[in-house]
Structures are given as C-alpha cells and as structure tokens.
Structure 1
Amino acid sequence: MITVPPGIEDWACLRGPAAVLDAVHTRARRGHHTETGTLTTVVLTAEQRREVALLLGTRWELSGKPVRLQDLAAKLSEHHLTVRGLVEALHGEQIEPDKERRSRAQTEAAAERGRAATFLIESGVAAPAVERWLADTGWPRPGSGELQALAEQVATVITRLRTTSSGVRLAQLAADTLHDAHALDADRQLGRGVARLLAIVHDLPRPQRAGRAWRAAWAGAGVVCDGVSSRVLALNLPLTGESPATRLCRAAPGEPVWLTLRSLTGPWTAPAVDVFVCENPTVAETAADALGPACPPLVCTDGIASGAALDLLAGLATAGCTIHARADFDPAGFTIADQVLSVAPDALPWRFDVRIYADQCGLSGPHGTSGSLAAAVAELRVAYDHAGMPVHEERVLALLLSDLATESRSFD
C-alpha cells in the first residue's frame, strides 16, 4: 500500500478535501475515471474551498470553479501519488467497483448455496426436497457463510436420525447430537431448519411454531416432542373423546384445570357451544368461585398463548364452537388476539373493543364499529397508539363475570 506523506494526510482530513475525496471514492465505486473529469456535484463552502486550495492553489480558489480531477492529479503527482491511490491509501484497501462487488457477491452466494445443498444431499435428502428447503424465506441469505453453517448442522441432525431408534425425545436427540438439549427448540433457527426439512420430506404442512405441524414434522422422523411443558387453563370445557384432557375436564366440573399438549393427544371434540377466552388466571379463578359448574366454557391463555392453548382453540373452532376472545388492552394482549385469530379466524371480541377501552381510559370520540375480533384488534391498535394507556382484564372483571353469568349453563 502507498505511503501518504504526513502533510497530504493532514490535508485530506480537512472537511473540504475530505468531501472531494469522498466524491472520488464514489466515482471509483461506480467505475468512473478518477484522474480526469470534473466534480460538479461537490458543493463546498468558502472555508472548504480555502482548505482544498491549500493543495490546488489560490488561483483555483478565487476562480469559483469546481474541482477538476486532472488538476488534483497533477498536484498529487508531485508527491508520487495518484488520486485513486491516495483515496485507497486513506481507506486502507483497494476500491472495488460496485459492479464487480455485486458480481463477486452473486458468485459467492451461488457457491455457498451449492455447498449447503451438497451437505443436505449427502445426508440422504433428495435434491428436490433440498431445493424446496433452500427456497424457504426463513434462512440466512447465502454469501455470509451462515446458510452453509446452518445446512451443515441440519445435515448432521438428519444423518443422526437415520441411526436413531424411533421414539427418541426431541431434547434427548438435541443433547446427544449437538450437546445442547435446547438446540432443536422451536425458537432456535436450527430447530426450525430441521423441522421444516422433515415436513418437506414427509409432505407435511410447514411448521410455523411449536404446534401441531411442528410435532407432526418430528413425528414423521420418529421423534417425540415435549408434551408437558406447554399448558393451558380450562374451566368447564365439555370435551368428548378418549384424550386425557377429556377425562380431566369431566372429573373437575366448576374447577379450573391445567391441560397440557400431552393430555390433548388422542381423539377429542366438543359440541358447538360458545367458548370464552381470557388472558389472566384471575378471571378463571373468579369465575369458578362465582359460578362454579354453571360457568360457560372458559379458556385462559395465561399470558402469551402456548402451543397447548392454540391447539385447544384450533380443535374447538374445528368442532364448530364460537370463540369469544379477549386479553389485556396492551401490545401483548393484541399479540394474543392475533394468535387466537391464527387458529380461529372467525373469533368474536369479548368486551375487547374501542368502546370498552375508551370508557376505561376516560376518552371521548369514536367508539368503533367492529364485529369481528380481527376488526376489533385493528381499531384497538390505533386507539392504543393514540392513548398509550394499558388496561388490564382485572379492570373489567365485573363486566366479564356479568357476561359469564348471563351465558351460564349446567353441564352433566
């Protein structure tokens, strides 16, 4: 790399010369000449012109004309420098034109994508399945090395699965293969990477989260997912069928019970009844105290909905139940409502609308016209952005209990 004389280096650090040399750097990246031409786009203040004139001379300063690169090149040649050479020396690297950089990046990305595909194919996955997996938008863009690293890890797990007995638990597989029991969790990119590839191989729905599609993808490879960590609180659900959840609900009328994913396995259904959904256990406990077995079916997500909660609501919606859902009036509550809508698109709002929110906040103005949960959430987000005041379910507990009492019914 060229050595820049101290005087020239000091000059280049001044604001005027720095602006000129930045423009030269841009020209070089765009593939334009750097030793000839005029920098018409560089606008200099009087002070900046004075600084540039320390090299180009007073005559140029007084001329009011833009910088000509041939003049700059002539002055720098006295110090055995070129314009481009000075810029590169100051940046500590050669300037790569944008066109060449993009071409190189595309070549490197294609090469990395090819290496990623090779890892997966060598693990025994068919090429068409690998291409579908690579087309997934959830992976790192090729070119940084991250896609290759992910594919190599996915291939390691796939290879291990071919010699693992059916019925192995997911955490055990992760610990044995990757020395981290959580490495294949749904919130890890590697876990999603393996699960989505397995889903493609077995022609199953693409797993979005730790739910039914997630467990089905792993089950296709003989892997059992944790069924007891994910849970949901239920009160008076009239489930029928052979699942453990059915027996748990039947054995505890009027009492909130925790249902896990494990207990929800096996065939179960429900009559087409109205089911109310809340966020906080206080609502479920208070309803149980006040109404007992007469309380209508109630599901409590206990915060952000778990896989068990979403599976339960999906099953209830499929059975024809009408889902009335609510949560806290805050961003987390709106997320919960979105989760409910992902499995029960026809869900209705339960005291979860702009009118209730405005009343609790002491606000005036339009109260909204939403009839669906989706519309209610859209209106609530606008109102919340304007007011910025969270309102928790406990604030409207009396209203909720009144609704449940009105809908109360007895179950055998």
Structure 2
Amino acid sequence: MSSEEPSGRRLNDAADAGDPVHVTEWDLRRMGSFAPAAGMRVLICENPRVIEGLAERGADGWAAVCTAGEPNLVVDKLLDKLARAGAALHYHGDFDWPGIAIANRVIARCRARPWQMTSDNYLQAVRLDGPELVGNHIAPVWDPELGAAMRSRGRAVHEETVLGLLLDALAAG
C-alpha cells in the first residue's frame, strides 16, 4: 500500500507499531495498489482476543485478520486482496458447529489453509467441563476425524481458550 495516501500512512504506522487496526470499506477503496511482503503469512482468526494477544506478544513473519465471527463484506474483500496478492492464508476459529461452518466458508472462498484445526488440536484442548456443542453438526471439509472427535466429546473449544497454544505456535513459525 502506498504510504503517501492518508489511509496508507495510518495502516503502515499501525503495522510498524504492532497495533491492531479496524479496516473499513473506506480504507479498502482508498488502498489502491496492494502488495504484501513476499512470503507474508496471514492468520485469519475468529475472535478479536487472538488479535490482541498477537499484538501483545508479537509473532515475526505473521500478519492477522480477525473476522469477529462470520466475515462481513469488508473482511471478504480484504482476504480476497491478500489472496490475489499471493499472501499465504491460514485459518483458525472456534471448535463449535458455527465455527466449523465459518471455517468451511473461509477455506472455500479464499483458499486458506486450516491452521491448528485438526482432530489432534481439538482433543488436546477439549475439556469435559467445556461448553456443550449445540446446533446441527457441520462436517469440517478438511478433516473428517475432527468432526467425529467433536461429536464424540460433545464439547466446544472456543478460540480464546487456546490463545496461549496459538501464540506459541505462531512464535515457533
């Protein structure tokens, strides 16, 4: 992004400081050309607390986009720009049925790769006293064993409860 445009300066300043930024449709329209750094890895997450944790702790070589639940049109446009520009997109979200539905859509729309979203990741994090899975079962398109493990345990794992694990994995590369 050109740092000569007001939105470019604001976003570049925030990136340099490691500060999270809410990007609007206005920002996207004013963004103009967009060229992420070569080999940029982008974590797409569902919960804003993940972005805050990443800003607090940092993770070299990673940028992040938070969907704050179901991605809206601005998030979709930003992810499309990142994908078209060659950024490597990685998705992590909640291990609950709505979270799996969101993951399926994000993976299909922008060819993101599931990240830390396997049956092993779920089984490592699930707790017997965790929130109950509710709603209709949604099959994870990337890992049928994950869906089976979730049905078997009947418990959800929300993204913010595995924040430490996610930040450790980001730091490890």
- Tell whether the 8 Å contact from 1:304 to 1:335 is kept in structure 2 after alignment: no
| 1:395 shift after superposition | 1.9
**TM-score using structure 1 length:** 0.35
Residue equivalent to 2:131: none
Aligned residue runs from structure 1 range 147-296, under 5 A: 240-241=1-2, 246-252=8-14, 253=16, 254-265=18-29, 266-271=32-37, 272-291=39-58, 294=60, 296=62
Residue equivalent to 1:396: 162
Q: In structure 2, how many angstroms separate the alpha carbons of the residues matched to 1:276 and 1:269?
A: 17
Label 1:267 to 1:295 Cα distance change in 2 as closer, same or farther (>3 A): closer
SS at match of 2:142: helix
1:106-164 deviation per Cα after TM superposition (whole angstroms, max 9, x unaligned): xxxxxxxxxxxxxxxxxxxxxxxxxxxxxxxxxxxxxxxxxxxxxxxxxxxxxxxxxxx
**TM-score using structure 2 length:** 0.78
* Residue of structure 2 aligned with 1:352, choices 113, 117, 135: 117
- Tell whether the 8 Å contact from 1:277 to 1:299 is kept in structure 2 after alignment: yes
1:233-286 deviation per Cα after TM superposition (whole angstroms, max 9, x unaligned): xxxxxxx24776543320112000000122112332323411111111111111
- Tell whether the 8 Å contact from 1:310 to 1:339 is kept in structure 2 after alignment: no
SS at match of 2:27: coil
Label 1:318 to 1:381 Cα distance change in 2 as closer, same or farther (>3 A): same
2:152 is equivalent to residue 386 of structure 1: yes
Counterpart amino acid of residue 23 in structure 2 = L
Counterpart amino acid of residue 354 in structure 1 = S
Q: Percent identity?
A: 35
- Tell whether the 8 Å contact from 1:361 to 1:389 is kept in structure 2 after alignment: yes
SS at match of 1:258: coil
Q: In structure 2, how many angstroms separate the alpha carbons of the residues matched to 1:404 and 1:245?
A: 28
Unaligned regions of 5+ residues in structure 2, if any? Answer: 129-139
- Tell whether the 8 Å contact from 2:91 to 2:107 is kept in structure 1 after alignment: no
Label 1:245 to 1:298 Cα distance change in 2 as closer, same or farther (>3 A): farther
| 1:327 shift after superposition | 0.2
Q: In structure 2, how many angstroms separate the alpha carbons of the residues matched to 1:302 and 1:245?
A: 22
Larger Rg: 1
Q: In structure 2, how many angstroms separate the alpha carbons of the residues matched to 1:306 and 1:382?
A: 29
The alignment yields a C-alpha RMSD, in angstroms, of 2.4
